[in-house]
Structure 1
């Protein structure tokens, strides 16, 4: 019986996609450095992420595969949807941090 996987397939795909996007944005960086940076952000060892990137773990793609979208309107729509989700998540996190900060400021009854 194989050992259970430590990282989900979704996380693997997201990490490889982040590495690919970072390399597209700044092509002067080495893939090793980008993997280390993205790995630090996601809590994944850089060497592990480099292996995923080299092997094209995300959907059996070859590393550095460029996705060409036929319909730019669909791409913009998907990005706008993602922006809405991220803004909503940020609003929730801001509300939660304000709530807990207020809890810390209240005098204790002990």
Structure 2
């Protein structure tokens, strides 16, 4: 079973992702509501995969992605954000993100993307 850490400042989004992926065979091992918390939860939970929002208080998703990748170059992080601008996507991919999902997303899109990334 693939262990997932969900990072988003919006409780509704965290719960939505959790609901979609748990009923499709993923195990949610942790949640974080900001980028700073994401890094400590990553170390604590040791997930196989992370979903990471870009726009969050304290530390944004790109900075958190960089920190996680510096701690674990093999980390599998999927960015999930309403910001669908190409510059953010490019920046995330250049900093180690394995994929990018734009909000609003469907269950099918998030499950398919996480399944593909978990197989990398």
TM category, shorter = under 0.3
The TM-score with structure 1 as length reference comes to 0.27
Larger-Rg structure: 1
Q: Which has the higher helix share?
A: 1
Structure showing greater relative contact order (alpha-carbon pairs closer than 8 Å, 6 or more residues apart): 2
The TM-score with structure 2 as length reference comes to 0.25
